[in-house]
């Protein structure tokens, strides 16, 4: 692979998919440039500084099944910086907190009658270990899970979990996506989650340093204004600095943004032919820094509890406090569309409402225990899939030998994660190398 003449390759986007693409391209012998529109690399892995510590703007963990991300860490010499902890799931229904980490907890889940609990436990075991993927792309998760668990149990447990992730679009999500989610989490028994020592900014920083040391050119604050093809199908990229031709391009930005920068030209026509027209769900979370732990649960969906957020994620159930400056990190989250009024509400108002609601949910939590709170938002996080998406998923190779895609719209049926983004980046670069080898 190192003898291939990949030439000058541009990577659009400096999130994990873009950085992983650049990593693979440099290993293949390419000359690589990465353009990032914002002031920092890492995408959803960005951090902010608080009292001399870098804290994650959004919540992240590594799972033992995340083979692509773990391998990338190993290639960067960071395998010893991953540490692992058992993590549990809670479920708050009408302000009562239930543990919900395995079939045993499902049997004790008092929010539904005993028969429904039995069906919920059997559903979790079946989906995680025995169900097969055949046919699940063509039906919704709602249809599949209601069939397995019953409509009442679906409405009480699975529907709130889907709504917390996809909002009102939950009813169109294919069963194949939920099946893949079960398989990733393994569905039963104590869950184990990992985290990189010194945070995700440490992983991003190590990756950026490695790329630069190997000759990669990484430019921040450099959005791509236009991407088009010349008469020979060579990519032409326009930025504030002017136009430049590249031998090849890998785009990792959401398809919504790529449609805009491609416009209506020849490349825009190619994209329109391959583009499933998928939209994205955004995310917003209020990060509350506490001087104490809130619960023992890493993740808690919040259902019918009269609060403005859908879930609570306490990452310091997994993280070492030395990585957070001694702060306990609690994320109060909603997955909402960027056009939703909630997404565009005044930040201070959102923070006040969320913090007040948290105090009502946990009466033993004192306001004095809150050290600080912040609001972070991202507009393009979860692709909104629909049945049959597997046959509509965009290919890695948009223009053979020239333009490639490594986006979250391609991770399906895998769950959107840093591991999945690393995987699609590797797939795009591998496809590029195969094509170049064939035409050389």
Sole residue written with tokens 């259902």: 303
Q: pLDDT tens digits for 88-120?
A: 989 999 999 998 877 778 778 888 898 988 898
Structure tokens at 175: 């069963």
User: pLDDT higher for 15 or 130?
Assistant: 15
Q: pLDDT tens digits for 225-253?
A: 999 999 999 999 999 999 999 999 999 99
Please say if the pLDDT value at position 187 is more than 50.
no
Q: What is the DSSP letter of 62?
A: B
> Please, which residues bridge with residue 248 across strands?
9
pLDDT band of residue 121 (cuts 50, 70, 90) is confident
CB distance 17 to 421 below 8 Å? yes
pLDDT band of residue 186 (cuts 50, 70, 90) is low
> Please, which residues bridge with residue 96 across strands?
93
Sole residue written with tokens 């993590």: 87
Please say if the pLDDT value at position 189 is more than 70.
no
Q: pLDDT tens digits for 351-398?
A: 999 999 999 999 999 999 999 999 999 999 999 999 999 999 999 999
> Please, which residues bridge with residue 10 across strands?
33, 249
Nearest Cα neighbor of 376 from 419, 410, 331 is 331
User: pLDDT higher for 167 or 408?
Assistant: 408
Q: What gap in Å lies between CA 213 and CA 423, rounded to an integer?
A: 23
Q: What b/e sequence results for 181-195 when a residue is b if at least 16 CB atoms lie within 10 Å of its CB, and e otherwise?
A: bbbbbbbbeebbbbb
Q: What gap in Å lies between CA 21 and CA 1, rounded to an integer?
A: 15
CB distance 174 to 138 below 8 Å? yes
State the burial class of residue 203 (Cβ atoms within 10 Å of its Cβ: 0-12, 13-18, 19+): buried
Q: What gap in Å lies between CA 382 and CA 173, rounded to an integer?
A: 11
pLDDT band of residue 188 (cuts 50, 70, 90) is very low
Q: What is the DSSP letter of 405?
A: E
Distances (CA, A) of 36 to 11, 16, 131, 256, 308: 9, 11, 41, 16, 33
Q: What gap in Å lies between CA 72 and CA 56, rounded to an integer?
A: 20
For 260, residues 6+ apart whose C-beta sits below 8 A from its C-beta are none
Please say if the pLDDT value at position 1 is more than 70.
no
CB distance 135 to 153 below 8 Å? no
Structure tokens at 42: 């890492």
CB distance 264 to 227 below 8 Å? no
Please say if the pLDDT value at position 20 is more than 60.
yes
pLDDT at 77: 94
pLDDT at 182: 83
Q: What gap in Å lies between CA 184 and CA 128, rounded to an integer?
A: 8
């Amino acid at each position: 692979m190192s003898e291939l003449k990949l030439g000058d390759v541009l990577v659009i986007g400096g999130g994990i998919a873009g950085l992983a693409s650049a990593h693979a391209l440099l290993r293949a012998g390419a000359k690589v440039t990465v353009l990032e529109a914002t002031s920092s690399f890492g995408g959803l892995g960005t951090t902010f500084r608080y009292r001399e510590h870098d804290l994650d703007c959004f919540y992240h963990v590594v799972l033992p099944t995340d083979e692509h991300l773990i391998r990338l860490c190993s290639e960067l010499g960071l395998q010893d910086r991953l540490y692992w902890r058992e993590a549990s799931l809670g479920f708050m229904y009408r302000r009562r907190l239930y543990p919900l980490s395995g079939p045993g907890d499902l049997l004790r889940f008092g929010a539904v009658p005993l028969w429904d609990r039995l069906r919920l436990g059997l559903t979790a075991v079946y989906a995680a270990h025995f169900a097969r993927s055949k046919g699940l792309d063509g039906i919704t998760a709602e249809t599949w899970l209601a069939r397995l668990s019953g409509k009442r149990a679906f409405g009480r447990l699975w529907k709130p979990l889907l709504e917390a992730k996809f909002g009102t679009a939950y009813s169109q999500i294919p069963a194949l996506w939920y099946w893949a989610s079960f398989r990733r989490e393994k569905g039963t028994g104590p869950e184990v989650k990992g985290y990189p020592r010194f945070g995700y900014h440490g992983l991003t920083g190590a990756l950026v340093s490695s790329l630069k040391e190997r000759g990669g050119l990484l430019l921040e604050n450099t959005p791509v204004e236009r991407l088009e093809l010349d008469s020979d199908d060579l990519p032409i990229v326009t930025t504030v600095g002017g136009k430049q031709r590249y031998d090849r391009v890998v785009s990792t930005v959401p398809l919504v943004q790529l449609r805009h920068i491609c416009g209506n030209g020849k490349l825009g026509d190619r994209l329109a032919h391959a583009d499933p027209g998928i939209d994205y769900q955004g995310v917003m979370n209020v990060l509350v820094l506490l001087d104490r732990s809130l619960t023992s649960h890493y993740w808690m969906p919040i259902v019918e509890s009269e609060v403005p957020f859908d879930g609570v994620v306490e990452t310091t159930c997994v993280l070492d406090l030395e990585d957070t400056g001694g702060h306990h990190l609690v994320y109060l989250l909603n997955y909402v569309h960027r056009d939703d009024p909630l997404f565009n509400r005044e930040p201070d108002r959102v923070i006040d409402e969320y913090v007040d609601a948290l105090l009502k949910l946990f009466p033993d939590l004192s306001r004095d225990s809150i050290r600080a709170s912040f609001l972070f938002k991202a507009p393009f996080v979860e692709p909104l899939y629909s049945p049959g998406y597997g046959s509509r998923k965009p290919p890695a190779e948009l223009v053979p030998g020239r333009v490639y895609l490594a986006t979250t719209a391609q991770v399906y049926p895998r769950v959107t994660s840093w591991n999945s983004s690393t995987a699609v980046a590797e797939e795009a670069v591998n496809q590029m190398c195969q094509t170049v080898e064939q035409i050389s």
